[in-house]
Structure 1
Amino acid sequence: MTIVLPGSAQLVAGNRKVGRIALRVVLVLLATALLLGLVTLVWHPLVIKLAVSPFFLLLVRLGLIAGAIGWFALLVDAWRLGQPLTLVKNHRLAMTGLNAALTFVVAGSLLFGAHIAGVSRAALLAVGGEGGDGSANAGRYNILLLGGDSGSSRWGMRPDSMQVASVDEETGRTVLIGLPRNMENFHFAPGSVMDKQFPDGFDCDGCYLNGVSTWAGDHTDLFPGSKNPGIDATVMAIEGVTGLKINYWAMVNLQGFRDVVNAVGGVKLHVREPIPVGIPGDSFYTHLKTGYYRLNGFEALWYARARHDSDDYSRMARQKCMINALAQQVSPTTIVRKFGAITKATTGMIATNIPTGDFSRLVPLAMKARSQKISTLSLVPPLVKDTAHPDMDFIHEKVKQAIARAEGKAGKPAGKAVVPSSSAAPNGETQRGGSIGTRETGYAANESTDLSSAC
């Protein structure tokens, strides 16, 4: 009776006051769950909002702990009410063993649920940052995705991979814009701190796009009060190059990425050309051969990062394929089933300026994006003929065209760029399009194409 309806045993054969209190609590909880279920059927985002609310998760955790203790006590009391000492020895041992098993299964399940709620809350608080811009720009959220260099103690200092995910706030339709780390002489967002330092473009000796972070780290006095001057400066650079206003940024430790892939059970990919695993001289040096594979974390990391016998541009294309594969293959069921491993893998792996309060708006958008095709645009040769002297106006126009195509407005302007620029190529020529990647690799695709076909 206590398993089916907690408190009913006490109502029949024990302390009726205790039984009534327990039944009322159970009925209130059942009514609340039913109400939430009905509301969720009408308004799906509700369950997501609650799932990413630290306060709600705290209430759930405390409630489950209290429920485990209360139910445990009711089961023990019900065992007492059954007068086990009046039974013969074999019956008494059997009933005591059964009751003990039921008691620990029920209490253990609730305590495990409390643990999951606690881990979820801790993960949200650990990942959540501060800052960011929660207002969509021209109907889109632009999120800068940075892959940190895996060198010792420097992954937060020098971005090794830079991409902008531009997501439609209504449909979730996403354009992934890849930026080469070796771009030079680009302009920063007008009026920004970095633009004032480099009004004619980032033209210092050995200054590349991925070196902006290091430069800012050496000049932190220009960023008073900033917790991440290197990333702040990189955002200024990305806004200047793409003409898009960045809402949020997220930095991922690429070595930790390996653990995430392992946690979700690997990722299926079509390897279109042999990919070196390691570098010559490594004891594990080998190659991923062409074909379809389920890559583990170690293999996936090298697939995304390998530069030996390759170049930055083909590596950028592979990284986009990896993002697309993970977005399509990691289902909500997988996340629930392997939640503990995923949470452990992501702890300390991600840094971001997305406030925890914005998750309730962004998670539903991410679910929409997952159901859509991801378009891609890479700002590399031959599309951008000379990354050492890029034509900023041309790049801005290509970004607008890629977004327009993703929104089904091909041939129409994609709207005014949020961060304008008037720089031109040094030779005064107008560059024209080509492909997003190098034709020498198996990962080339036409300008602004769907990743599903490019990969």
Structure 2
Amino acid sequence: MTVTEPGSYPRRRDVRGSRGVRDVREAGDVRDVRDGRPQRAARGATATATAVRPPAPRRAPEGAPPRPAANEVTLIHAGDDPRGRHASSSGEGFTRLVLLTVLGAAVPGAGLVAAGRRFWGWLVLLPVLAGLGAAAAVLLTGRLVPMARSIAFDPQAMLVIAAGAALGALLWCVVIVATHASLRRSPGVGRLTRAQRLGSLLLVTALLALVVAPSATAARYAMANHDLLENLFGSESRSGNAPDTAAANPWAQVPRVNVLMLGADTGSDRVGTRPDTIMLASIDTKTGDTTLLNLPRQLEDVPFPQGSAAAKAWPKACEEDGEGGCMLNAVYLFGTLHPEMFGGTAKGNDPGVEATKEAVAAATGLDVDYYAMVDLEGFQQLVDAMGGITLNVPRDIPIGGGHNLETGGKYPITGWIRKGQAQELDGYEALWFARSREGSDNNDRMARQQCVISAAVQQYGPVELAAAFPSLAKAAERNIQTDIPAGELDAFVTLGQVVKGGDLRALSFTSANISTGDPDYDALREMVENALYPAPPAPAASAAPSASSSAVPAPAESPADPHQAVDPSTTC
């Protein structure tokens, strides 16, 4: 409060207000100043003057600006910073604003604490620190990969992750905006220029995008995985050779697992679905060595287990008209027309596939534990989802051609896959590389199909699968059918890692080693046994030194034995 004695001349006071400098003069009044506005003293207040001797003036240092006299008036202009000598300059304040905003986005809550919002800052920061600590503990104890895989194969966990990603992104964005707004009002940040305000807006927008984009991707991956698990994989195992999913090594008690791979052809000129590709992959679970047994679709007199209803009905009832003369690719239709022989039409059971599994098992002497069937048109989508495939094309392969099975008419050739090494093929070209019939027989087609399988195993790793996962999952959901349950997927991922380190061999049953019209199934089973458990190679005989000075040329390498499994890469 400023006191003026009655009758005295009032001192001029310049008070900074919202509209600049104002003079306050009023003789004989008692006034104080609050918030830049002069206030009249309460009525009835008594003014008391106290004489105070002013302190002796001090000598100013040389070079310093002169001090104002006691009766001089110091004006505070509107452009001056009212915060005094502790206020930051515009450049320093903007730098602080940028750094703390970025810090608050990287570590949610830290920026709020720095802005003075300690309660809200610690309320956000403590859960973040707890989560980071838990993640570090999981990482250091080596439980990250097993935990991630167990979550990845749980459809309910995928829903939680998708919802959590969306909610977490929303809260994170709110924290970023609140942090920046709080910092703008903090004492350490001065008034921003127009360019700085624009820069702040762009900074916050970029930080929000960095949060929203990965969160949206995570939610999209989670929902794609959820749909794939729910729609493609079953809930219960139907195999009698299932892995122990609770064990550290789920395949320890399963020395070998056999998976039937079918390529279904549902062309408009065909009656029902007929597998165009029939392969049995036999996997050694300890070494990862895999043998592909490629069965020709035109294999006749296919056996069924003795005493079964199918063995009695086949081949008389294999076709809808019951005329017989059926081949292996007609077994699927036979099962579809007679579901009562193959487990019925309950959910999760495909009588056509079950019939094919029984026929392949009886023909090869191996139990078929699981199957996976892909529609040939869907194969194109799968390859496209993976970004294509690299194949060696031994000769020009026609696109199109062949004959209509109903009318006998010839299909036109619409294009060519040109000969060359390491050709980059898209899904459409890879499909025709595997299925083209024009100018080739079934033996040639089976060899090309083995090349496609071999190339896919070698080229498609975890990184490629993860990058293409959303589109791959959609294509797989529409075009793949399997009886592998979701609860065993983790075990199959473990097995897949072992297979990547093993050897891949293939044995095709062609006219070179079997008669498809009148096959000897005992001989076929013997070839299967030798392919899975080959005899160790005989030791090379040491050659005695020759007295003759003339060199004898080494004999030419003999061609591969068609009765033995070979590395597909040698023929691709």
TM-score normalised by length of structure 2 = 0.68
Answer whether contact 1:48 1:364 (CA < 8 A) is retained.
no
Whether the 8 Å CA contact 1:68–1:108 is kept in 2: the answer is no
Question: Equivalent residue for 1:148?
Answer: 264
Q: Distance in 1 between the 2:486 and 2:272 partners?
A: 21
Equivalent residue number for residue 132 of structure 1: 238
Q: Deviations over 1:337-379 (max 9, x none)?
A: 3333323332301011111111110012112212322111112
Give the drift of 1:257. Answer: 0.9
Q: 1:31 to 1:400 in 2, by over 3 A?
A: farther
Q: Is 2:125 the counterpart of 1:23?
A: yes
User: Which residue in the other structure is 2:78 paired with?
Assistant: none
Mapped partners of 1:276, 1:312: distance in 2: 15
Specify which of 453, 462, 478 is matched with residue 323 of structure 1: 453
Query: Are 1:168 and 2:269 counterparts?
Result: no
Identical counterparts, % of pairs:
33
Q: By how many angstroms is 1:193 displaced?
A: 3.8
1:66 offset after TM fit, Å? 2.4
- Residue 33 of structure 1: how far off its partner (Å): 2.4
User: What secondary structure is seen at the aligned counterpart in 1 of 2:281?
Assistant: strand
Q: CA deviation at 1:397?
A: 1.8
- 1:38-117 aligned at under 5 Å gives the runs 38-40=140-142, 46-83=147-184, 86-117=191-222
**What's the counterpart of residue 182 of structure 1?**
298
- Alignment gaps of 5+ in structure 2: 1-102, 244-250, 402-409, 539-559
- The structure with the largest helix share of the pair is 1
Residue 255 of structure 1, aligned match among 377, 381, 384? 377
In the superposition, relative to structure 1, how do residues 447 and 275 fare at CA in structure 2: closer, same or farther (>3 Å)?
farther
Q: Distance in 2 between matches of 1:269 and 1:117?
A: 32
Deviations 1:282-340 (A, max 9, x none): 36233532543111111111110011111111111110110000110112222223333
Q: Distance in 1 between matches of 2:153 and 2:339?
A: 34
> Do the aligned partners of 1:148 and 1:155 also contact (CA within 8 Å) in 2?
no
Instruction: Name which of structure 1's ranges 390-399 and 295-304 shifts more when overlaid on structure 2.
Output: 390-399
Q: Does 1:449 align with 2:566?
A: yes
Instruction: Determine the C-alpha separation between the residues in 2 that align with 1:157 and 1:295.
Output: 27
| TM-fit CA distance, 1:48 | 3.5
Conserved 8 A contact 1:177-1:376: yes
Among 489, 494, 497, which residue is 1:364 paired with? 494
Partners of 1:311 and 1:76 in 2: CA distance: 67
Summarize the Cα distance change of 1:365–1:383 in structure 2 as closer, same or farther, 3 Å threshold: same
Q: Secondary structure at the match of 1:18?
A: helix
Q: In the alignment, is the contact (CA less than 8 A) between 1:144 and 1:163 conserved in 2?
A: yes
After TM superposition, the score normalised by the length of structure 1 is 0.84
Aligned positions of 1:378-393 closer than 5 A: 378-384=508-514, 386-393=515-522
Which stretch shifts more, 394-403 or 174-183? Answer: 394-403
* Secondary structure of the corresponding residue to residue 304 of structure 2: coil
Q: How far apart, CA to CA, are the structure 1 residues paired with 2:536 and 2:140?
A: 38
**Kept in 1: contact 2:316–2:324 (CA 8 A):** no
Q: CA deviation at 1:148?
A: 0.6
Aligned partner (choices 338, 345, 351) of residue 219 of structure 1: 338
3-state SS, counterpart of residue 104 of structure 2: coil
SS of aligned partner of 1:448:
coil
Distance in 1 between residues matched to 2:565 and 2:426, nearest whole Å:
29
Cα 1:57–1:14 change in 2 (3 A) is farther
CA RMSD after TM alignment = 2.9
Cα pair distance change 1:198/1:369, threshold 3 Å: same
Query: Does 2:77 align with 1:12?
Result: no
Q: Secondary structure at the match of 1:161?
A: strand
Matches within 5 A, 1:405-444: 405=534, 435-436=561-562
